[in-house]
Amino acid sequence: MTGLAGLPRRPDALLLDFDGVILASAEIKARAFAEVYAGAEPAALAAVMAYQRLHGGVSRREKFAHFETAIFGRPATPERIEDLSRRFAEIVFERVLDAPFVPGAEAFLQATRRESRLFLVSGTPQGELVEVLAARGLSNFFEGVVGAPTRKMVAFSRILREIGLPPARALAIGDASTELLAARSLGVPFLWVAYEAARPPWVDAPVTATLEGVAAALGFGQEAEAEGPR
């Protein structure tokens, strides 16, 4: 952790990404894209992996549409995108179920669940996300779960509006430019988790290598009387 200066003390809502923030599954999915395109030219595979690592919060269907047109130069037909998405899901589902937690993630959820409102916002398809959470015993941590096709900015905006919370009293935590830009556009503070995805040089948000010690650094688990006004 390099310091969380500028982040809200004991934020009233946490908008959490899933892959690379809760589970160490971001690289699993990056490699799955390479498996789907096995046999492609090395330069094309490198471009696929680079895009995935930077845009982790984008839905897989949007990524496949980009790969097909921008990298492979062919039409991104609905049938083609559906076939690629199905193959991808077959590769990743069981691997995600077995993925370890990002260090400190379990303790972070336990420490914050009673003092903040937790929402999971992911680029994983909604049904698959709900299924993975149930299988991993994580469903009860979250007041709301939003997956694809809902985009991050739409999800963040809707959550804040529905709970009546000023953006400055929330905190988004993620590992991709997708959720960073969504948070910034709404005025929501952002914390980058660099466990699987390094923070790009152009990103000036606070960064932490893992979630170890983050709850305490944000003031969770401490008596309100001891910390003064928030």
Model confidence over 52-110: pLDDT tens digits?
877 877 889 999 999 999 999 999 999 999 999 999 999 999 999 999 999 999 999 99
Residues 197 and 122 in one domain: yes
In a domain, 7, yes or no: no
In a domain, 164, yes or no: yes
CB neighbours of 219 closer than 8 A, spacing ≥ 6? 9, 10, 227, 230
Confidence band for 230, pLDDT divided at 50, 70 and 90: very low
Site of tokens 């690289």: 27
**pLDDT at 58 (0 to 100):** 85
Q: How many CB atoms sit inside 10 A of residue 50's CB?
A: 11
Q: What would you measure as the largest C-alpha separation in the chain, in angstroms? A: 61
**pLDDT at 6 (0 to 100):** 86
- Domain final residue pick, 52, 67, 97: 97
Q: How far apart, in whole angstroms, are the C-alpha atoms of residue 18 and residue 156?
A: 14
Domain count, the chain: 2
Q: What does the angle CA 165 – CA 153 – CA 4 come to, to the nearest 5 degrees?
A: 65
Confidence band for 223, pLDDT divided at 50, 70 and 90: low
In a domain, 3, yes or no: no
Residues 113 and 215 in one domain: yes
Residues 72 and 167 in one domain: no
pLDDT at 227 over 60: no
Contact status, residue 21 vs residue 210, Cβ threshold 8 Å: no
Question: What SS3 class is residue 85?
Answer: helix
Confidence band for 161, pLDDT divided at 50, 70 and 90: very high
Q: What percent of the chain has pLDDT over 70?
A: 95
Residue 73 exposed, middle or buried by CB count within 10 Å (0-12, 13-18, 19+) = exposed
pLDDT digits (tens, 9 = 90+) for 17-55: 999 999 999 999 989 999 999 999 999 999 998 888 778
- Domain final residue pick, 97, 113, 142: 97
Residues 157 and 80 in one domain: no
Instruction: Name the residue range of residue 176's domain.
Output: 13-24+101-227
pLDDT at 142 over 80: yes
Q: How far apart, in whole angstroms, are the C-alpha atoms of residue 215 and residue 104?
A: 9
Q: Where are the alpha helices (DSSP H) in the chain?
A: 26-36, 42-54, 60-66, 78-97, 105-112, 126-135, 152-163, 177-186, 214-217, 224-227
**pLDDT at 109 (0 to 100):** 98
Give phi and psi for 213, each to the nearest 5. Answer: 80, 0
Confidence band for 3, pLDDT divided at 50, 70 and 90: low
- The torsion defined by the Cα of 196, 44, 90 and 52, in degrees rounded to 10, comes to 30
Average pLDDT (103-125) is: 97
In a domain, 6, yes or no: no
Average pLDDT (117-128) is: 96
Site of tokens 């990056």: 30
Confidence band for 5, pLDDT divided at 50, 70 and 90: confident
Reading the block at residue 91, the tokens are 């590769």
**pLDDT at 198 (0 to 100):** 78
**pLDDT at 37 (0 to 100):** 96
pLDDT at 226 over 90: no
Single-letter amino acid code for the residue at 137:
G
Residues 158 and 205 in one domain: yes
Contact status, residue 55 vs residue 143, Cβ threshold 8 Å: no
